[in-house]
Amino acid sequence: MDIQQVKQRFGIIGNDPMLNRAIDIAMQVAPTDISVLISGESGTGKETMPQIIHQLSARKHGPYIAVNCGAIPEGTIDSELFGHEKGSFTGAHESRKGYFEVANKGTIFLDEVAELPLQTQVRLLRVLETGEFIKVGSSKVIKTDVRIIAASNVDIPKAIRENKFREDLYYRLNSVPIALPPLRDRGVDVSLLFRKFAVDFADKYKMPAIKLDEEASHVLEGYNWPGNIRQLRNITEQLSVIEENRLISADTLKQYLPNFSHNNLPALVGQEKASGDFTEREILYKFLYEMRQDLGDLKAIVLELMENQGTQIQTSNPEAVKRLYEDVDFHPSVKHDSYSSSESNGGGYSYPVRSGHGVHSPIHHHIDDHEEVEESLSLEDTERELIQKALRKHNNRRKHAAKELGISERTLYRKIKEYNLK
C-alpha cells in the first residue's frame, strides 16, 4: 500500500511534503511494536496517525482505544487507565477493568499525554518498560501486551524543564517521533480541504456547495489558521449554512476569520500560546543590527566633524580616537607616527585631519572607496554558529551542549546532521 492509497482509505486530503513524510513514517513503523509520539498543534489531525499505525499493524484485529488524557479528572485517571478493586475508594462498589487491561493485544492512543499527573506518569513508564501494572487498591501485578501511541500539542521538552513531565517517560514514548505540520504551512492544501468540506456540507444540508472567488482563495491560503483543520471545517460549515450567495467573496470570507487584520504578524516558534511579534532571540538580533547601524552613523558624524574643524583635533583620550581610526579599517600604508604626543595640551595627542584637494587624511581616503559589506542576518547561520560554539565549549559532548542551548539531545543531533557539522 502506497501513500495515496492510505490517504484514500483514511480520508486524508493534501499533498504537502511534511504531511506525506508523516504518513510515510507511520506506514514504516506500523509493523513494529515501537512506541510513537505524535506532535503538532491542536486541530492538525493527530488522531488519524494512530489509526493508520493500528490498521496497518499485526494488531489490527485487536482492540483500539483512544483516551483523551486531558478530559479525565486527575482523581480518577489512574482508575480509568489501570482499573480498580471493589472498595478501593469511595464509590468503588465493584471491581473495574482499566483501558490497559481491556486493550490487551491491541493499541491504546493517549491523546494530550502531557496532561497526565506525575504520579500517573510513573505508572505509565512501568507499563512501557515491563508491560506490568497494578490496579488501584490492589497488590496483584497484571501483565498486558499493549502498543502505546501518544500525542501532544504542547512543547514537552519545555514541560520537562518546568518539572511537569518526566524526562525518562518522554524518551520512552518518543522512540519514533511524527510531526504534523500546521495548516498555515500547507499552502494549497487549504483550498483542497475547503472544497472537500464544502461538498460534505452541501450533501449534509441538501444545498448547492459554496465556492470561493479568486481573491477569496488568496485570503484563505494566506490566513494564519490558529485552529488549523478544525477551524477551517467550522468556518466552511458556517459559510455553507449562513450565506445565501454560493460564490463567496474575499470581503465575506474575512468576516468569518477572527483577527484577520493581524494575520501577517510573524509567527512565534517554540511557544504554543505566546504573544507578541518576535521571539526573544529575534528581538535581540534586531537590537544588535540597529545598534550596529547607529555605530556606523556615529563614526561618519565624528569623521565629518574632524574634517570640518581644521587640520588637527586635540584629545586627552588617544586610545578612543585610535580605536576609531582602526574601526574604519585603518589603511596599512599609514604609520603609527601619524598621531603624536603634545606637551602643550597637557599630555594629550593630536591627529592629522586634512580636507579639500590637497593631501587627504588616511581615513577620508579609505572611506571614499570603501564598500560596506552587510553581515549575514540569517537565523540559520546564527543557529549554526551557536551550535558550533556550544559544541566547542563542551568538547563535542552533545548532552551538555544541548543543555546549554536549551534543546533536546535528539534535536541537537538532527541540527548537526542538517548543517553537516563535524
**Fold for the domain defined by 378-419:** Arc Repressor Mutant, subunit A (1.10.10)
Q: What is the pLDDT at residue 309?
A: 59
Q: pLDDT by residue (tens digit) across 274-296?
A: 444 445 555 666 667 667 666 77
Q: pLDDT by residue (tens digit) across 296-344?
A: 777 777 776 766 655 444 444 555 555 554 544 444 444 444 444 444 4
188: Cα separation from own chain's centroid? 21
Domain over 184-262 is classified CATH 1.10.8.60: yes
pLDDT band at 89 (very low <50, low <70, confident <90, very high): confident
Residue 270 has pLDDT above 90, yes or no: no
Between 17-26, 171-180, 201-210, 363-372, the lowest mean confidence (pLDDT) is in: 363-372
Q: What is the CATH number of domain 3-181?
A: 3.40.50.300
Q: What is the pLDDT at residue 92?
A: 80
| Domain boundaries defined on the chain | 3-181, 184-262, 284-368, 378-419
Q: What is the pLDDT at residue 418?
A: 82
SS3 229: helix
Residue 47 has pLDDT above 90, yes or no: yes
- What is the pTM (predicted TM-score) of this model? 0.60
The secondary structure element, H or E, covering residue 267 is none
d(CA 291, CA 299): 12
SS3 36: strand
Grid cell for residue 193: 480541504
d(CA 389, CA 285): 17
pLDDT band at 412 (very low <50, low <70, confident <90, very high): confident
154-167: average pLDDT: 94
The secondary structure element, H or E, covering residue 179 is strand 176-179
d(CA 223, CA 260): 7
Q: pLDDT by residue (tens digit) across 168-209?
A: 999 999 999 999 999 999 999 999 999 999 999 999 999 999
- Cα dihedral 98/126/124/66 (nearest 10): -60
Q: What is the pLDDT at residue 129?
A: 93
SS3 336: helix
Backbone angles phi, psi at 100, to 5 degrees: -70, -30
Only one residue has cell 497484571, namely 142
Task: Please report how many Cα atoms fall inside a 13 Å half-sphere around the Cα of residue 202, on the Cβ side.
Answer: 13
